[in-house]
Amino acid sequence: MFSLLSRTIRELLQRRRANREVEEELQFHLEMEINANVVRGLSAADARRQALADLGGVAQTTEAVRGVRASWIDSISQDVRFALRVLRRGGTGWLAMAMLALAIGITAAMFTVVDALLLRTAPFQNPDELAFVYLGNDHGGPNAVAPAVLRAWKQSGVFAAVEAANRSTAVVEMNGSIMTRGLAQVTPGVFEMLRGVRPVKGRLFDTSDGRSGTDDRILISEDMWRDVFGRDPDTIGKSVLIDGKPLVVIGILPAEFRFPSASTVIWRASSFDDPKGTRPVVYVRFRTDLPRADAERIATTAARSADSVTATANRYLRVQPLRGTLLDEYSERAIPLLGGGVVLVFFVLCANVSSLLLARFTARQREFAMRSALGASRARLLRQALVESGLIGILAILAGAGTAWILVALARAFLPEAFLLGTLNPLNLDLRALAVTSAAGVVATAAAGLLPAWIGTRVQRDSPLRVSDRGGTETRAARALARMLLVAELALACTLLTGATLLIRSFVNLANADRGLDPEGIVVARLSVLIPELKGDGARESLARSLEDEVRSLPAVQQMAWSYGLPPGGGAMSFGEWHSDLAGAPALDMVVDRYWVGPEFFSMLDIPILRGRTFAPEDSSNDVVVGERFAAALWPGLDPLGHSFTFVKERFRVIGVAREINYPTLETRRDSPEFYEQFKGVGRYAMAMASIRCAGPCPDPALIRQRLGRVHAAVRVDSVRPLVDSYIEELARPRSAAAVGFAFAAIAVLAAAGGLFSVLSYAVRRRRREFGIRSALGASSSQLAGVVVRDSVTVSLAGLCAGGLASWWIARGLTSLQYGVSATDPVSCAVVISLLAITVALASWWPAKEAMRSDPVSLLRGE
């Protein structure tokens, strides 16, 4: 093997010399022959003529010797040169290559996205040993545990590692600018638990960090180092104002490190040992030598003895494996479907490449027949065809890798944050995706090249050479294959178009859905309030006043309202039995959004009070305003004013009915009925939301955040953002799903149209003679066009039928992503069918016109 290779290489290098030597050798032979003739007594001229005649063609012999000496590399390189020459002539080759490149590019890019978002595990060592744990019952429970529980678990040794990581956001002040960044409060050992984390600069936390006196130490990510510090090499040891406090940077973590959430860029050391302080969110690494069930049991016992609430509420250890992704349900459903969509697009494009190559090889049958007549074996022709499609494949793989790279860069730039920040894995075109690109390329080339090559090279030696048969004939197999590919293409395009139409209609419905309130021009500040720090008479009232003064002093602020809980879907989820005061009415089991709101709340958010009134200061805490849906459920058909209901032993009296507010979301269970209680004041709840309506543009959220954050040590600002963002956020994923679906469908429809067009016009060109004769025999031009149209309609109908079945199936698969559209939506059906009909009509228009133009005279002149 090696010697063969080395000889091949040597021969390649010495080819020029070897060729010269062959010529020299034959020249020597010629001269010897001439000499011999001269010796025999011929004149010099006769001797030469005689010798040349005896020899036969010197050139042919040289070629024959070269043919013997030529290695396979020679003949392949000849094939490649020939293929390049054919490709340079332009036409369908480039089109096929571009389509294949597109197919490979989209597939690889989509694979990268699906891989990063869904398939890949958390980017840490032995990720299946890692888990997020909390204490709860079958319905779930709070994320965080008591500090005592964390301590108990650490002491019990039941886990290989127990660490805490609480994520939040923080205001960062640097050189006079204010910005918000993701922050995580972590126990120092968290990096050791994840394993394999190395700082880019400085050091990680050690056990001495995070205690009082050393809890001002932070690590920052490379991204933040770049954005905020401009990659200043002396960043280590510098302090930066975070939430108003100077914190010291002791290390920089690589940009790829994402934990506990993808948006975390600041890590602050904390030991979580203050029993009244922040409750830790716990992550563990399980021991490999202890069965999970035992570990969970021991951990539950330890937690119950450390914390009385866990014991009384009968909570147990609940484990959530730490996956690479923290996707919501929508993305989890949408991404595999979009992945399926890209596979369909891949098939459409491959079918198209296949039919293009098929047409290309069939059109060149004369060339193949000629070469076959000159002595080329079928294997030789097949190899030529394969080299040609292989060359197209290789160029397509290269172009496809480039396309994939660009698409991933675009995805990184334009995918909604909800997608991108849902994964702990950074979105990079990785080696695996590139491997898949190449594999996809090989499959596509084989699929696109092999069959056409096989059929295209099946040459009847005599028939295509007949001059009268201009342009060659299409074999029956090639014709059947081309039609089948077209039917498949149209069916897939129909399927993708149906899916995209449903996604787009869902998005439009979602975007236009009635929210029941007006979120425009409202900014919401969410505050955490440390209630125990508000001691003394009037502390709460004065806090509320100073917060309100602070807000009102901001420019453009018009109105503000307090609440605990805020739409959309942000109320306290209350589920259980609701008893109305109607005699004999059964208890209702439902989930209700419960809000505590100030009296201005309704007018500010533009929620009309339909009956009764909003709150007044003298109302008791049991006076409530209910939403329409809630009222209709408890008092169907009756006026709820003055009625009362009981929930968890508490009795409420209805003083008003507000218009129903909706939460347009695909997860319908998140849109619950609601009722409102009176907001009792800042400091009565662990959180408070200040809704601020502005005249004109609202102040910068970071500014609002900074002003409110410095009012009181007991108040921490969790976030400040426009209310409309919550709604837009809910739209972001359906919008990108619809956009991606639309792009796929557009590519598929264009490809199918292109395929139909090329096959039909190729058929027309091939049958020009037939059309000419028909026209000479008196066929009208519309009859000729009818032939083409019939061809196109047959194929299209077959494609639509197959596509209809597939569409029905895909529409059912998409049910969970639909909003206000059913799988059998007539509008969507009509849209799909008319779009496809227009496409088919446009694709057959030119070929039909071409057929009508068949001129018998010019055709016969060509005979």
Partner 1 sequence: VPKTEYLQGALDLLILKTLALAPNHGWGIQQRISQVSRESLSVSQGSLYPALHRLEAAGLLSSEMTASDNNRRARVYRLTAAGRRRLETEAEDWREFSLAIRRLLQQN
**Is the Cβ of residue 34 or residue 485 nearer to partner 1 in the bound state?**
34
Contact pattern from residue 721 through residue 760 relative to partner 1, giving x for each residue in contact according to CB under 8 A and a dash for the rest: ----------------------------------------
Q: Which is nearer to partner 1, 20 or 292 (CB)?
A: 20
Q: Is 251 left (phi over 0), alpha (psi -120 to 50) or beta?
A: beta
Q: Could you tell me which stretch among 58-66, 341-349, 437-445, 649-657 binds partner 1 (CB under 8 A)?
A: 58-66
Instruction: Give φ, ψ of 721 to 5 degrees.
Output: -160, 155
CB of 46 to partner 1, least distance (A): 19
Query: With contact defined as beta carbons under 8 Å apart, do 442 and 422 qualify?
Result: no
478 touches partner 1 by CB under 8 A:
no
**Whole-angstrom distance, CA of residue 590 vs CA of residue 649:** 16
| Total residues interacting with partner 1, rule: CB under 8 A | 22
**By C-beta, is 74 or 328 nearer to partner 1?**
74
Pick 32 or 797: Cβ nearer partner 1: 32
Give the residues across from 268 on adjacent strands: 185, 218
Using the rule CB under 8 A, which residue among 6, 9, 14, 28 binds partner 1?
A: 28
Nearer to partner 1, 65 or 80 (CB): 65
Q: What is the largest CA-CA distance in the chain?
A: 143
Using the rule CB under 8 A, is 549 a contact of partner 1? no
Among 39, 41, 53, 56, binds partner 1 (CB under 8 A): 56
With binding defined as CB under 8 A, does residue 29 bind partner 1? yes
Residue 11 Cβ vs partner 1, minimum distance, rounded to whole Å: 9
Within positions 762 to 781, which residues make up the interface with partner 1, using CB under 8 A?
none
Residues 6+ apart with CB under 8 A from 443: 350
Stretch that binds partner 1, among 20-28, 427-435, 511-519, 530-538 (CB under 8 A): 20-28
Closest distance to partner 1 from the beta carbon of 57 (Å)? 7
Q: 653, exposed or middle or buried, with CB in 10 Å at 0-12, 13-18, 19+?
A: middle
Could you tell me the two tokens for 523? Answer: 């900014």
| Amino acid, res. 853 | R
- Shortest separation between residue 68's beta carbon and partner 1, angstroms: 5
Member of 6, 27, 621, 668 binding partner 1 (CB under 8 A)? 27
Using rule CB under 8 A, residue 469 touches partner 1: no
Among 6, 23, 44, 69, binds partner 1 (CB under 8 A): 69
Number of neighbouring beta carbons within 10 Å of residue 354: 27
Among 67-75, 151-159, 382-390, 850-858, the segment contacting partner 1 (CB under 8 A): 67-75
Give the span between the Cα atoms of 310 and 141, in whole angstroms. Answer: 10
Residues 781 and 852 sit within 8 Å (Cβ to Cβ): yes
The single residue listed with the structure tokens 């293409």 is 489
Q: Quick one: which of 461, 482, 465, 464 has its CA closest to 473?
A: 464
The nearest distance, CB 489 to partner 1, in angstroms, is 49
Task: Report residue 66 as tokens.
Answer: 């070269």
C-alpha–C-alpha distance, residues 475 and 463, integer Å:
11
Question: Closest separation between CB of residue 71 and partner 1, Å?
Answer: 9
d(CA 402, CA 404): 5
What is the 3 state secondary structure string of 570-639?
CCEEEEEEEEECCCCCCCEEEEEEEEEECCCHHHHHCCCEEEECCCCCCCCCCEEEEEHHHHHHHCCCCC
By CB under 8 A, residue 418 contacts partner 1: no
| Residue 10 sits in the site that holds partner 1 (CB under 8 A) | no
Q: Which of 9, 32, 406, 572: binder of partner 1 (CB under 8 A)? A: 32
Among 68, 413, 583, 777, binds partner 1 (CB under 8 A): 68
Does 73 bind partner 1 (CB under 8 A)? Our answer is no
If the CB atoms of residues 75 and 559 are measured against partner 1, the closer one turns out to be 75
Q: For residue 478, how many other CB atoms are within 10 A of its CB?
A: 22
Q: Which helix (H) or strand (E) holds 240?
A: strand 239-242
List the one residue from 33, 216, 550, 581 that touches partner 1 (CB under 8 A): 33
Closest CA to 28 of 57, 6, 58: 58
**Which residue's structure tokens are 């060149």?**
364
- Rule CB under 8 A: say whether 13 interacts with partner 1: no
DSSP letter string over 139-175? TB--S---HHHHHHHHHHT-EEEEEEEEEEEEEEEET
Which residue in 55, 148, 241, 290 binds partner 1 (CB under 8 A)? 55
Pairing of strands 609-612, 588-597: unpaired
Q: Is 65 in the site for partner 1 (CB under 8 A)?
A: yes
Interface region with partner 1, contact rule CB under 8 A, candidates 23-31, 75-83, 219-227, 531-539 = 23-31
26 sits near partner 1 (criterion: CB under 8 A):
yes
> Using the rule CB under 8 A, is 60 a contact of partner 1?
yes
Residue 414 corresponds to which amino acid?
A: F
Q: Which element (helix H / strand E) includes 416?
A: none
Under the binding rule (CB under 8 A), the answer on residue 64 touching partner 1 is: yes
Measured from the CB atom, the residue of 35 and 858 that comes closer to partner 1 is 35
Q: Is 61 in the site for partner 1 (CB under 8 A)?
A: yes
> Does 9 contact partner 1 by CB under 8 A?
no
What's CA 441's distance to the chain center, in Å?
Answer: 21
Report d(CA 282, CA 184) in Å as an integer.
12
Give the shortest CB-379-to-partner 1 separation in angstroms.
Answer: 20
Residue 21 in contact with partner 1, rule: CB under 8 A: yes
Nearer residue to partner 1 within complex by CB, 29 or 470: 29
Distance, CA of 348 to CA of 491 (rounded, Å): 9
Q: Which stretch binds partner 1 (CB under 8 A): 65-73, 197-205, 468-476, 823-831?
A: 65-73
> Which of 6, 9, 14, 57 is in the footprint of partner 1 by CB under 8 A?
57
β-pairing, 650-658 with 623-627?
parallel
132 beta partners: 283, 320
Interface residue with partner 1, options 6, 9, 24, 512 (CB under 8 A): 24
Choose the binding region for partner 1 from 32-40, 309-317, 717-725, 816-824 (rule: CB under 8 A).
Answer: 32-40
Residues 35-54 that bind partner 1 (CB under 8 A): 36
Task: Give whichever of 7 and 461 is closer to partner 1, judged by the CB atom.
Answer: 7
- Which one, 60 or 794, has the nearer CB to partner 1? 60
Percent helix, strand and coil across the chain, each to the nearest 5: 55, 20, 30
Nearest distance from residue 376's CB to partner 1, in Å?
A: 19
CB of 106 within 8 A of CB of 741?
no
Binding to partner 1 by residue 31, rule CB under 8 A?
A: yes
**Are 162 and 232 contacting, i.e. CB atoms less than 8 angstroms apart?**
no
Binding site for partner 1 (CB under 8 A): 21-22, 24-29, 31-33, 36, 55-57, 60-61, 64-65, 67-69
